[in-house]
Amino acid sequence: MAKPGNLMRLILQLPDLNMNFPVITRIIACLAIVHCSSETFAQELVQGKGKAIIYFESPTPVTVRLDTALLRQTKNPILLNEGSYIVRAWAPTKELYTDTITIKEGKTTICVKTLKNSEGYSAYLEELSSYKLKKTGACYVALPATLLYSGFAYFKYKQNARLMNEHLENAQSAKEGYEHSISLTNISIYKERYYSEKAIYESYLKKNNRLANLSCVVIPAGLVASAALIYWSGKLKKPIYSETPLLSLNSISITREFDRDYSLSLLINIR
């Protein structure tokens, strides 16, 4: 079959010869030949071919190979010759995916997957989580806990001291009333109030003494432990992840769109 370009040049070069072939008629004839030729070319192109959608989801750049050729990722279908192909896909931190797809004429084969984390990367994530937990615990648990206890002990000590002073004043007031009373009834009341207030005062005094003794041990120990933990956390080594690429990029992939439903891929392997 003659190429469309040759037919167009032939029609445009036809002499007029009073044969009623104006220029507009020649242009219409050229367009009709181009349309028919394009349809024939498209039909010939898809014979013995099938479509495939090959796409891999990953937050990191994915390298895809179809047999030994590098394939550019696209969600559009691509045209491939009939037959079986080995698909391999890899991305940093992901497992190498390998599978075989079969292309059939007029059929669409779909290979859309989400790449999984590799065993090495999963282990690295666990080590990193453990590192962060130790680092956080050493720096943000012991010292804040010590400071929190110090604040609580100070507040409680001041509260007990205030109540202790109130009951001491009440006891002294009851003692004065007892000393100046003449009635036996009042003497008995003041005496009972005095010993009651005195007992409460002594209980708060004992509480503050225990709290002070405990704080003298807990707070210094907490500060020493915090300093030791912070020093130890500074010696921790942060995990480092490294890997060897499982697929190389030593190929060129050229893809261009064909019509509206197909993507014609030219795969050139330069290994």
Same domain, 155 and 199: yes
- Mean pLDDT for the stretch of residues 236-257: 71
Q: Which residue segment(s) compose the domain that 166 sits in?
A: 125-235
Q: How confident is the model at residue 119 (pLDDT cuts 50, 70, 90)?
A: very high
Q: What angle do CA 260, 264, 266 make, to 5 degrees?
A: 160
Cα angle 97-102-104, degrees, rounded to a multiple of 5: 150
| 215 in the same domain as 252 | no
Question: Computed from CA positions of residues 143, 146, 149, 151, in that sequence, does the dihedral angle turn out positive or negative?
Answer: negative
pLDDT at 210: 95
Task: Tell which residue, 268, 271, 263, 244, has the closest CA to residue 45.
Answer: 263
- Classify the phi-psi angles of 264: left when phi > 0, otherwise alpha if psi is within -120 to 50, otherwise beta: beta
Q: What is the pLDDT of residue 46?
A: 62
Verify that 103 and 174 share a domain, yes or no.
no
Same domain, 149 and 220: yes
> Do residues 151 and 226 share a domain?
yes
Q: In this structure, are 9 and 106 located in the same domain?
A: no
| 163-175 confidence digits (pLDDT tens) | 999 999 999 999 9
**For residue range 142-156, what is the model confidence (pLDDT) as tens digits?**
889 999 999 999 999
Task: Check whether residue 147 and residue 227 sit in a common domain.
Answer: yes
Task: Pull the structure tokens for residue 16.
Answer: 């007029």
What is the spatial order of strands in the sheet that 69-71 belongs to? 69-71, 63-66, 83-90, 97-103
Say whether pLDDT at 251 is over 80.
no
pLDDT at 44 exceeding the cut of 80: no
Q: What would the pLDDT profile of 180-224 be if each residue is shown by its tens digit?
A: 888 888 889 999 999 999 999 999 999 999 999 999 999 999 999
Domain count for the chain: 3
Mean pLDDT of the region 244-254:
65
Residues 133 and 72 in one domain: no
Do residues 106 and 193 both lie within one domain?
A: no
Asked whether residue 129 falls in the same domain as residue 197, the answer is yes
Are 96 and 245 in contact by the 8 Å Cβ rule? The answer is no
Q: Pick from 98, 114, 104, 107: which is nearest to 65 by CA?
A: 98
β-pairing verdict for 97-103 and 83-90: antiparallel
Cα–Cα nearest to 76, from 255, 206, 205: 255
